[in-house]
Amino acid sequence: MTRITEAERDSLREKWLGTPLRFAPHLRALGLALLILLGLGGVLALWTQLLRRQVAARTRELNHALAELSAAQRDTELAKAHLAATLQAIPDLLFELDGQGRYLDVYASRDSLLAAPKSELIGRHVDEVLPAAAAAEVHGALAGARRTGSNYGRLISLEIAGEPHWFELSATCVRSGTPEQRYLVLSRDVTHRIESERALALAKEAALIAAGDQRFRALFEAAPIPMVYLVADQLEVANTRFYETFGYTRDELPTLEEWWQLAYPDPDYRRHARTEWEAEVGKAMRENCDILAHEYRIQRTDGHQLVMLISARVLGDGLLATFIDVTHSRQLADQLRISEERLSWRWTPATMVCGTGISKLASFTATRLISECWAIPATHWKTGSKLCGSTCSTRPITRRS
């Protein structure tokens, strides 16, 4: 057997056993395939690991984003809730308008202060809802906000539920410089403030009037002449000098009718005086002019007659009448008139000679002569020396009967 060669041995094996199988190439191919598969598996595993890491990272990012979004949503909801609570808490009205003055949205805690229901305001123009004066103020506020970004302090008046209300407008531009300009207009109900200011102004005016009335009353009472304030047929008020002058009391003169009966007891003269006075009063009321002074004879409580110059001025809804006593002046005038009638002098060129010439007294009137001689005793009337102031040769002054 030892002499059998390797080739012979292979031919015998092939003859008796058949062609031998050669596994080495297949094993190499299989090994190569396994190596390739292992490489691909490793690459796949690595890619899968990378994908897992990326997915995990993205998942963490998404979870973080979702958490932030949830937090932001919660914050937004909280902010909306706070804003809604704030808008609900403040009594002001908030309007969103476009550049043309059209209502885009309305926020109101009290719908009773709206000029119209919210559903009717949206989409409508301010000129369609508000009065012309109020709409003009709104347009002015929008124009001011357009120029400077904001506008404050404009007042509008609206009649709501049959009562006047005042609102103060504050406007701000939301989107300035773009075609879609929007404005927020805050409307604050300041009716109470306006009414308080007006009440305060009226109170100040009343205080000033009261102070003026006190001064006027003091002057009225201190006046040295009788004065009375008449309203229609009532003696509203009279000063102290009025009652002192005529002697009547306040209870005796509640109206003008008692005054006419007591102060003018003569029916004929009372009728004449009353007709003249009422005519003057009617003229003064129609033309808003003063009543000029007229003489009237008024009887005091003691029966003494006084001659009074009565004038009046329209004051408010009444008359302020003043009385000036001219009784004494009238008596002097009557005495002077009587003296003028009794003393009528007749002068001739030869009546009086004074030194170097003749004093012509023919041009003297009786009034002037009486005024010159009123204080001269009657014994001096017979000589010219007292009148001329020099030694004169005179004739007695004769009086014409």
Quick one: tokens of 143? 């124009």
Kindly report, residue by residue over 81-135, the tens digit of the pLDDT: 877 777 666 767 888 888 888 888 888 777 778 888 888 888 899 998 888 999 9
Domains 92-189 and 223-331 agree in fold: yes
Rounded Cα–Cα distance for residues 39 and 76 (Å): 53
Quick one: tokens of 367? 């009034």
Write the CATH number of the domain with boundaries 92-189.
Answer: 3.30.450.20
Amino acid 298: pLDDT = 92
Rounded Cα–Cα distance for residues 187 and 170 (Å): 7
Round the CA-based radius of gyration of the chain to a whole number and report it.
Answer: 61
Sequence-ordered list of residues with C-beta below 8 angstroms from that of 350, at least 6 positions apart, any chain: 358, 395
DSSP 112: G
Give the chain's residues under pLDDT 50: 346-401
Cβ atoms of 296 and 270 within 8 Å: the answer is: no
Amino acid 179: pLDDT = 65
Can you give the residue ranges of every domain in the chain? 92-189, 223-331, 343-394
Cβ atoms of 345 and 364 within 8 Å: the answer is: yes
Cβ atoms of 376 and 386 within 8 Å: the answer is: yes
Sequence-ordered list of residues with C-beta below 8 angstroms from that of 305, at least 6 positions apart, any chain: 297, 298, 299, 327
Amino acid 161: pLDDT = 80
Sequence-ordered list of residues with C-beta below 8 angstroms from that of 269, at least 6 positions apart, any chain: 297
How wide is the angle at C-alpha 158 spanned by C-alphas 154 and 163, nearest 5°? 135
DSSP letter for each residue of 190-229: -HHHHHHHHHHHHHHHHHHHHHHHHHHHHHHHH-SS-EEE
Amino acid 20: pLDDT = 58
Rounded Cα–Cα distance for residues 11 and 4 (Å): 11
Amino acid code (one letter) for 306: L
- Cα 53 to the chain's mean position, in Å? 77
DSSP 102: B
Nearest to residue 301, comparing CAs of 369, 248, 378? 248
Please state, in angstroms and as integers, the Cα–Cα distance from residue 79 to each residue in 71, 74, 108, 110, 264, following that order.
12, 8, 18, 22, 89
Per DSSP, helices labelled H in 223-326 are 240-246, 256-263, 267-287
pTM (predicted TM-score): 0.43
Amino acid 82: pLDDT = 79
Rounded Cα–Cα distance for residues 352 and 345 (Å): 14
Q: Within 10 Å of residue 81's Cβ, how many Cβ atoms?
A: 10
SS3 379: helix
Kindly report, residue by residue over 70-90, the tens digit of the pLDDT: 888 888 888 888 777 776 667
Choices 3.90.180.10, 3.30.450.20, 3.40.50.300, 3.30.70.330: CATH for 223-331: 3.30.450.20
